[in-house]
Amino acid sequence: MKITDVKATVLASRYDRPIRFAHMELTERRIVVVQVFTDQGVIGLGDIDGPPAGDMAVVGIVNETFRPLLIGQDPLVIGARWNDMFQALNTLGRYRSLESYVLGALDTALWDIMGKVANQPIHRLLGARRREVSCYASLGQVAENLIGEEAGKYAAQGFAGVKIRIGFPNADDKAIVSAARASLPVNSATKLMADVNSGWSRSFAPQRASALEPFELFWLEEPLPPFDLPGYAHLAESLVTPIAVGEHEIFNRWDARDFIVARAADIIQPDLRQGISECLRIANLASVWEIPCIPHFFGPGIRFAAMVQLLGSIDNYLLCEYPIAIDPIRFELTDPPLIAVNGKVAIPQGPGLGVTLNEATMRKYAVN
C-alpha cells in the first residue's frame, strides 16, 4: 500500500453564542480536515485547528512540508512515517509549533488507515480496556448568579464531572467556585473542576489557589502561563488540590517528562492535536508515575473520535472532556455523531476511528 495524495480542506462555522475563557473568546471556528489517500482506496482522516485556536498557515504546511514526505510511502509503517515527519520539527527546533499540529493530524490519519486495513477500531489495536468513557461537562464562562444552576443541570444529566471557568479579570473566583460547589456537594457523585486558562500571575496564584482549597476541587487546571514550569512546581507543592496541565504546556513526551520530574503536574492533559502516537507515549510515561492522563479537548468531531479511541486503551484513564457548546463542525461532521448519553460516550466499534465524514456537512461548511 502506498500514499497517493494528502488533501487539506478548510471548514468554518459559528457557535450559537460566544464562548469565553480567560485567555480568548470564541464566536466562530475554522478547522482543516486532512485526508490521506492510498492506492487501495483507503482514506485516513485527521484535523487541525484553524483560527482562533490555530492558524491558517497549517494549510501551506500540509501541502508544502508534509505532503511531499508522505506521497509514495507505506502508510502502515506508522513509526517510520512519524520519524520522517518529526525531522521537519527537529531540524529547526519547532517542537512546539504549527508543524507539530500538522504532524499530529497526519499521524491520526495513518492510524485511521491502519484500523481500516485491519478492520478493527484503533482502541483494539492499542489494547482495548473499555467500550465507553465517562465524560465531564466542560463549560465556558458562566455568570456567578447562574453557575450553580448550570452545574446542577449537567450533574442531573449524568455527567461524572463539571468543569467551570475562572481567572477572568475583575471576577471573584472564590465566589464562582463557591456557587458551583453549592449545587454539587462534596459528597456528590459529580466532581467539580476549575480551569483558570492561564489567567493568574505567579505572584498571586498561591494565594488565590489556597482560597479555593476548602471547596475540594477534583483539579485546578492551568492556573499559570504555560512557560512557567518553576511556578507550576512551586504551586503544586503548596496545594492539596491536584494541578492539571497539558493543553498549552505538553506538546510531546519530553515536555511531559519535564513536568513530571519537576513535580509540577498531578494530572497530564495532552491534546490529540499532537496525534495518537505521541499522546499514547505521553499517557504511558505518565502511567509509570501513576499520574492520570485526561486529554484536553475543545476541538472538532474527528479529534474527539481519536480521543475516545485512545481513552479506550490506556490504563491511566479517568474521564473524558466533553464541551457542551453547540458546534456543528463537531456534532455534524462525523457519522455517527459522538454524543453523550447519560454522561457517557460509547467508543465507536467500526474500523479505524470508527467514524466517517458527513459529506453534506463538508459541503455546507467548506471555505473556498
- As for how many domains the chain has, the answer is 2
Residues 98 and 174 in one domain: no
Asked whether residue 302 is domain-assigned, the answer is yes
Q: Using alpha carbons only, how large is the chain's radius of gyration in Å? A: 20
In the DSSP assignment, the letter for residue 61 is: I
Q: Are residues 83 and 15 in the same domain?
A: yes
SS3 85: helix
Q: Are 263 and 306 contained in the same domain?
A: yes
Q: Which of 84, 118, 152 is the last residue of a domain?
A: 118
Amino acid type, 182: A
Domain at 202, CATH number: 3.20.20.120
pLDDT at 219: 98
Q: Does 202 lie in the same domain as 54?
A: no
Range of the domain at 60: 3-118
Closest CA to 194 of 215, 174, 219: 219
Residue 358 lies in a domain: no
Residues 147, 72 within the same domain: no
- Indicate if 333 and 219 belong to the same structural domain: yes
181 and 104 assigned to the same domain: no
Are the CB atoms for 115 and 286 separated by under 8 Å?
A: no
Residue 43 lies in a domain: yes
DSSP state at residue 271: B
- On whether both 111 and 241 belong to a single domain, the answer is no
Query: At which of 86, 118, 150 does a domain end?
Result: 118
Q: What is the reported pLDDT for 327?
A: 86
Q: Are 148 and 117 within 8 A, CB to CB? A: no
Output the nine-digit C-alpha cell for 286.
Answer: 505518565
Give the three-class secondary structure for 275. coil
Q: Is 364 a domain residue?
A: no
Q: Do residues 203 and 265 share a domain?
A: yes
For the chain, where are the alpha helices, taking DSSP H only?
57-60, 67-70, 78-90, 98-118, 122-126, 144-156, 173-183, 205-212, 229-238, 253-261, 276-288, 301-311, 328-331, 359-365
With a CB cutoff of 8 Å and minimum separation 6, the contacts of 52 are 24, 25, 26, 29
Question: pLDDT 10s digit of each residue in the chain, 368 long?
Answer: 999 999 999 999 988 888 899 888 888 999 999 999 999 999 999 999 999 889 999 999 999 999 999 999 999 999 999 999 999 898 888 889 999 999 999 999 999 999 999 999 999 999 999 999 999 999 999 999 999 999 999 999 999 999 999 999 989 999 999 999 999 988 889 999 999 999 999 999 999 999 999 999 999 999 999 999 999 999 999 999 999 999 999 999 999 999 999 999 999 999 999 999 999 999 999 999 999 999 999 989 999 999 999 999 999 999 999 999 988 888 999 999 999 999 999 999 999 999 999 999 999 999 97
365 is a domain residue: no
Residues 79 and 179 in one domain: no
Name the domain boundary from 68, 93, 118. Answer: 118
State residue 146 phi and psi, 5-degree precision.
Answer: -115, -15
d(C-alpha 11, C-alpha 48), whole Å = 11
Q: Check residue 80 and give its pLDDT.
A: 98
pLDDT at position 62 is: 98
Task: Give me the CATH number covering residue 75.
Answer: 3.30.390.10
For position 200, what pLDDT does the model report? 96
Same-domain pairing of 140 and 93:
no
**Rounded Cα–Cα distance for residues 116 and 105 (Å):** 17
For residues 137 and 96, state if they share a domain: no
Within a domain: 332: yes
Confidence (pLDDT) at 98: 94
Q: What angle, rounded to 10 degrees, do the helices at 253-261 and 229-238 form?
A: 40
Which cell is 196 given? 483558570
Contact 26, 18 (CB under 8 A): yes
Give domain status of residue 11, yes or no. yes
346: Cβ–Cβ under 8 A, 6 or more apart, which residues?
131, 132
Sheet holding 25-38, edge to edge: 3-20, 25-38, 43-49
What is the DSSP secondary-structure string of 288-355? HTT--B--B--S-HHHHHHHHHHHTT-TT---EEEE-S--HHHHTTEES----BTTEEEPP-SSBTS-
Could you tell me if 199 and 22 are in contact, meaning their C-beta atoms sit under 8 angstroms apart? yes
Q: Is residue 32 part of a domain?
A: yes
Could you give the C-alpha distances from 50 to 46, 114, 334, in angstroms and in order? 13, 26, 18
Distance CA 287, CA 268 (A): 10
Angle at 26 between CA 21 and CA 27, to 5 degrees: 145
